Structure 1
Amino acid sequence: MQPTRISVVGTGFIARGLIQALRIAPDLEVNRVLTRRDKQSVYGIPYEQLTQSLEELLENTDILIECSGDVQHGTEIIMRAFEYDIPVITMNAELQVTTGSYLATKGFLTEAEGDQPGSLAALKENAVGMGFKPVVYGNIKGFLNLNPTEEEMRYWSERNGLSLEMVTSFTDGTKVQVEQALVANGLGADILYQGLNGQEAAKLEDGAYNLAELSLKYGHAISDYLLCPSGPPGVFITATHHEEQAAALEYFKLGKGPFYTLIQPFHLCHLEILKTIRRVERGDGILLNNSTQPRISVAAIAKNPLQAGELISKGIGSFQVRGEAVKIENEPNHIPIGLLQQARVIRPIEEGEILTFNDVEIDGSTALKAWLDVKERVDLGQVN
């Protein structure tokens, strides 16, 4: 039996780790790895697996893993993969919340288990299978600094072996906003406020209970996060259960109710992508995507005053803007932070202001067309 041919887009931390992990699975074969870098400069990946030819990649692929971290590049590649009828797994929440709802209408697209959104989707499957009814889909953050300095971020980038953009987006909250927007859209939840609630919690269980009470008042399941330095680097779901199970759940150390918190105290990124590959092989369907009916997006918020003529090379992970989750109906003209690449500011913008399409000039791209398609359907009331 021939091994399943896996191709990977990207050569960063996630891609390198995945390629190493796949070596322990004899029935899975890393066939091609697409890079835009000089192949001689890529480390940690066998040279013979590297290619700069998208056609070569797609002609030798059974399942494509997109983990480039680039919204525009990733969108273009996924569209081409769908022309070959190739199923696509992403670990790219930024792409999902920007163009994923358009892509989900064109082919098989799922986020991978391993990062927080996929981990929450898998935890939901487990929880619902046991009779729980989720009311909070929670992310756990230990630290935030909405406007870190470049010096600070360079230190942590070099210390952890991650890109400067990645470390900055973790620290300024953009990543958690993106992740929880994806969770809200994909798992049928809502958000309480622009920028999420994000309350501080000395104990995870207490903070989760507080969010559950807010969800109950709101009347809908919510996607949010806790700022809990003592919490594990994972995710949680707070849920209700049938009253007749209350005594058993208390015996199982989940408390007296009516809310019960299920914690997954880890997310292992590239190691868990293998579970999603197996899911696709089994034909078990989509774990998570942004849905074809999104209600939540991630707007760009100015960290500092921006001047006319200023160039934003890339919004996510920059020192000019950060992301905040918004309801599309409340901010219909916002520009998603994932679209800000080589964007030119055309009017002065104040610190804390949401950037709109009237504020910047951006080049046409597949990603822009995808977003405008979704936005048109939102405006026409074709999404709920």
Structure 2
Amino acid sequence: MFGLSEDLKALETSERFIRTGLIGAGQMGTDIVSQVSLMPSQRVVLIADIDLDRAVNAYGIAGHNRECVAVAETLDDVNRARMQDKFVAVGDYRLVTDAPQIDAIIESTGHPEVSARAALRTLFQRKHLVTMSVEMDITVGPLLKWYADQHDVIYAIGAGDEPSALYELYDFATALGLTIVAAGKGKNNPLNRDAVPEDLAEEAARRGLTPEMLIEFVDGSKTMIEMACVANATGLVPDVFGLHGPHVNIAEFKDVFALKSQGGLLSQNGVVDYVIGDLAPGVFLVFTTDKPRLREALILRDMGHGPNYVLLRPFHLCSMEVPLSVAQAVVQGRSTMAPGRRLVAEVVSVAKVDLEPGRELERIGGHTHYSMTDRYENAAAKRALPVGIAKGAVITRPVKKGEIITYDDVQLPSGSVAIRLRELQDRWMAGEIEEPALLQTLNEIAAQNT
């Protein structure tokens, strides 16, 4: 984000500001509105949430007077309110994606299906998209990034969460030509694959989260999803199914994340992983170099005697950093982080309990399944069900606890945009559909009542 503060100061000096729309006014979305209220160069002028009161209240929490906030039901209502310089709250995300007065949209729902619909329509309307829904990104991110490119707009994974924080270290290390051994995050809560919403309902309420959202962290699903997101943006790979996830502290990283020939865990360099230990929260990157002169320099900089060395970013401010991604997209024309043209990692669905025919799979963090990360080609060979499209699928044959749920084990729900996009992405990655036809199909889906 080099020079971003200067660029934003120039915007402020010229008495202009970035007009931002927000889809999803939950905990993260509400934080974003408050953060933007401190930034004269940016305003969240339009918020959508299925709970309209939550959208209105987000403005109040940020310090905006209620008389400055209008509730709109149609696009004409939105336009009239904006002409009066009102902040606007709506219940339909399409009023945000379709509003002409918006420069960029932050998508903050966390639900893959809603996220996919909102992202596709945002890009179709030629608006920059900053998404906080890594669950959607690891499912159809490459396709949406390609679609954004066709419309000459930015697709970005929002700053502030572990993936983008880790990408900063990756970008730094690769720009210097260093060899990356491993990159990952510290898991800052206990790991319990069997956790279900009832286990932590009181804690979730205390923290302002849904129980499922908290369980997504505790059962490891969020970690798997975030590290797959990093893999797909960098080309780093999972070393093993589900990652290693050792219980280690920072002082041990350089020795544990080393090749087996060096006494470490890894079968190769260039992997994603996570740890449970004293890096909580934060992200790390282990690198090496074969240049003797640089090893001498690293000793002088108190980085150790090698052959491996550790970089840390011991904080991430989550939603507070997201407005920086908006500014980077609008002012600098760059993405904070985005996936490549192909999936490198897949996050697969694993049965949390014995599943019998007729059982409907719940959302991530529910009672039916948890997530594990694998290499894309391995998951594809097993026909493993991506976790991002699992919700609503109905089990058609028994699956034992701990087994991977496959496409052959379920009937997928009808009418899902996320599933349709995933099918298109798989065909595109396999070379089964030409890009002109792909673009036409995506435009048709986006133009429909998504």
| TM-score bin (small chain) | over 0.9
Moved more, 214-223 or 167-176: 214-223
Aligned match for 2:95, one of 56, 71, 88:
56
How has the CA–CA distance of structure 1 residues 39 and 348 changed in structure 2, closer, same or farther, with 3 Å as cutoff?
Answer: same
Report the secondary structure of 2:96's partner residue. Answer: helix
C-alpha distance in 2 between matches for 1:152 and 1:137: 31
Deviations 1:73-96 (A, max 9, x none): 111111111122111011111110
Matched residue, 1:136:
182
Report the secondary structure of 1:165's partner residue. Answer: helix
- 1:258 positional shift: 1.4
How has the CA–CA distance of structure 1 residues 306 and 27 changed in structure 2, closer, same or farther, with 3 Å as cutoff?
Answer: same
Matched residue, 1:346:
396
Asked if the contact 2:26–2:54 (Cα under 8 Å) also holds between the matched residues in 1, the reply is no
Deviations 1:281-314 (A, max 9, x none): 3325223223211121100000110111112232
C-alpha distance in 2 between matches for 1:212 and 1:90: 33
Number of aligned positions between the proteins:
379
Q: Does 1:165 align with 2:199?
A: no
C-alpha distance in 2 between matches for 1:334 and 1:340: 10
C-alpha distance in 1 between matches for 2:245 and 2:54: 43
Matched residue, 2:43:
29
Question: After TM superposition, where is structure 1 displaced by more than 6 Å over at least 4 residues in a row?
Answer: none
C-alpha distance in 1 between matches for 2:54 and 2:209: 20
How has the CA–CA distance of structure 1 residues 137 and 15 changed in structure 2, closer, same or farther, with 3 Å as cutoff?
Answer: same
Q: Does 1:313 align with 2:362?
A: yes
Q: After TM superposition, list the pairs within 5 Å mapping 1:277-356 onto structure 2.
A: 277-314=326-363, 316-332=364-380, 333-356=383-406
Aligned match for 2:115, one of 71, 74, 92:
74
Asked if the contact 1:181–1:297 (Cα under 8 Å) also holds between the matched residues in 2, the reply is yes
C-alpha distance in 2 between matches for 1:8 and 1:166: 20
Asked if the contact 2:182–2:287 (Cα under 8 Å) also holds between the matched residues in 1, the reply is yes
Matched residue, 2:298:
249
- 1:275 positional shift: 2.3
Q: Any stretches of 5+ residues in structure 1 without a counterpart?
A: none
How has the CA–CA distance of structure 1 residues 114 and 208 changed in structure 2, closer, same or farther, with 3 Å as cutoff?
Answer: farther
Aligned match for 2:27, one of 2, 8, 13:
13
Aligned match for 2:236, one of 189, 208, 212:
189
Letter in 2 for 1:178: I
Deviations 1:16-65 (A, max 9, x none): 10110000011101111111224368643345332123443131310111
Aligned match for 1:146, one of 193, 196, 200:
193
Report the secondary structure of 2:181's partner residue. Answer: strand
Aligned match for 2:246, one of 199, 213, 236:
199
Q: Percentage identity across aligned positions?
A: 24
Asked if the contact 1:190–1:220 (Cα under 8 Å) also holds between the matched residues in 2, the reply is no
Moved more, 96-105 or 169-178: 96-105
C-alpha distance in 1 between matches for 2:300 and 2:265: 25
Q: Does 1:109 align with 2:155?
A: yes
How has the CA–CA distance of structure 1 residues 179 and 245 changed in structure 2, closer, same or farther, with 3 Å as cutoff?
Answer: same
Aligned match for 1:232, one of 272, 280, 290:
280
- 1:212 positional shift: 3.0
Deviations 1:241-287 (A, max 9, x none): 34312222122221111111011111110111122223213325223
Greater Rg over alpha carbons, structure:
2
Aligned match for 2:418, one of 358, 364, 367:
367
Q: Which has the higher helix share?
A: 2
Letter in 1 for 2:258: A
Asked if the contact 2:245–2:273 (Cα under 8 Å) also holds between the matched residues in 1, the reply is yes
CA RMSD of aligned residues (A): 2.1
- 1:129 positional shift: 4.0
Q: Does 1:358 align with 2:405?
A: no
C-alpha distance in 2 between matches for 1:286 and 1:220: 26
TM-score by length of 2: 0.79
C-alpha distance in 2 between matches for 1:29 and 1:288: 22
How has the CA–CA distance of structure 1 residues 8 and 138 changed in structure 2, closer, same or farther, with 3 Å as cutoff?
Answer: same
Q: Any stretches of 5+ residues in structure 2 without a counterpart?
A: 1-14, 61-68, 71-87, 149-153, 434-450
C-alpha distance in 1 between matches for 2:280 and 2:137: 25
How has the CA–CA distance of structure 1 residues 38 and 343 changed in structure 2, closer, same or farther, with 3 Å as cutoff?
Answer: farther
- 1:144 positional shift: 0.8
- 1:335 positional shift: 1.2
TM-score by length of 1: 0.92
Aligned match for 2:136, one of 95, 98, 102:
95
Asked if the contact 1:180–1:224 (Cα under 8 Å) also holds between the matched residues in 2, the reply is yes
How has the CA–CA distance of structure 1 residues 363 and 85 changed in structure 2, closer, same or farther, with 3 Å as cutoff?
Answer: same
Asked if the contact 1:209–1:238 (Cα under 8 Å) also holds between the matched residues in 2, the reply is no
- 1:196 positional shift: 0.8
How has the CA–CA distance of structure 1 residues 238 and 311 changed in structure 2, closer, same or farther, with 3 Å as cutoff?
Answer: same
C-alpha distance in 1 between matches for 2:246 and 2:432: 33
How has the CA–CA distance of structure 1 residues 41 and 87 changed in structure 2, closer, same or farther, with 3 Å as cutoff?
Answer: closer
C-alpha distance in 1 between matches for 2:219 and 2:305: 36
